[in-house]
Amino acid sequence: MARMDRLMRLMDTLRRLPQPVTAAHLSEETGVSLRQLYRDIATLRAGGALIDGAAGVGYTLTEDPVLPPQSFSRLEIEALMLAQSGLDQIGDETLKKAGRNAMARIIATLPDRQARQAMHTVMRSWRQPDKRPPVTVDLDLLREACWEEFSLVITYRDLQERTTTREIWPMGLSYSETSLLLLAHCRLRQDYRHFHVSRIASLAPGTESFRPNRVGLLRDYIKQRGYDRNRSPRQIS
């Protein structure tokens, strides 16, 4: 896990858990060793985080009173919570947990009145369950490949039930109620393709890096396809 991600996870955990929270509990929640946890606590303190307590006693996070609290309108709070509700409907477990953690971090910095509003929103997202085929591959690896711009080797079963193995440059994921699609540049076809992630039988890191070409590839894709966000993709593999 990247250092900044690890520190953000620790801050989020300190905000979420009843305080004081023991080092052992923090270690379990964040997935790091006690030795690493103590180093991370020291790093956060050096960066200005107000963390009271010590090993064997428990830690308490005090939000810096010098910083102004975040403020949102009632409708903005409803919009954020509605977005989280929608994510809970279409996201995988890792993505849903990340969304909940982010919302907990936001709510923890709201004034009391707005924090109570966030707990009693009136808008909810709902969809019929089990409309999207299950995904069996590692979505964390898939997202990392998109972010870090390295290729993947996938075994794919297309809509005509033909199976191929190919190397791709993954560029982005598209979530909907009925499908999870991966936009990629297929090195086998030398063209852009949308892959149904549920039809990917296996994936592994490839041998190519397409950094820093992702933005250029996306622009090229939009230009070539005349892509319209309100329409379905023109070509599905």
Question: Tell me: the pLDDT tens digits for 172-231?
Answer: 999 888 889 999 999 999 999 999 999 999 999 999 999 888 888 988 988 887 755 544
Res 234 pLDDT > 50: no
Given this model, what pLDDT does residue 187 score?
93
- Count the neighbouring beta carbons within 10 Å of the beta carbon of residue 193: 20
Q: Using alpha carbons only, what angle is made at residue 20 by residues 16 and 22, rounded to the nearest 5 degrees?
A: 90
Say if CB 154 and CB 195 are below 8 A apart: yes
Res 130 pLDDT > 70: no
Q: How far apart are CA 74 and CA 56, in angstroms?
A: 41
Say if CB 175 and CB 237 are below 8 A apart: no
Given this model, what pLDDT does residue 129 score?
64
Given this model, what pLDDT does residue 65 score?
52
Provide CB contacts within 8 A for 166, sequence distance 6+: 153, 154, 156, 186, 187, 188, 189
The domain 139-225 is classified under which CATH number: 1.25.40, 2.60.40, 3.40.30, 2.30.30? 2.30.30
Given this model, what pLDDT does residue 152 score?
98
3-62 topology per CATH: Arc Repressor Mutant, subunit A (1.10.10)
Res 32 pLDDT > 70: yes
Given this model, what pLDDT does residue 126 score?
72
Query: Could you state, in order of their start, the residue ranges of all structural domains in the chain?
Result: 3-62, 74-119, 139-225
- 66 compared with 199, residue with greater pLDDT: 199
Q: What is the pTM of this model?
A: 0.65
Same CATH fold assignment for domains 3-62 and 139-225? no
Given this model, what pLDDT does residue 1 score?
63
Judged by average pLDDT, the poorest of 61-65, 111-115, 151-155 is 61-65
Given this model, what pLDDT does residue 196 score?
96
For residues 114-143, average pLDDT: 84
Res 91 pLDDT > 90: no
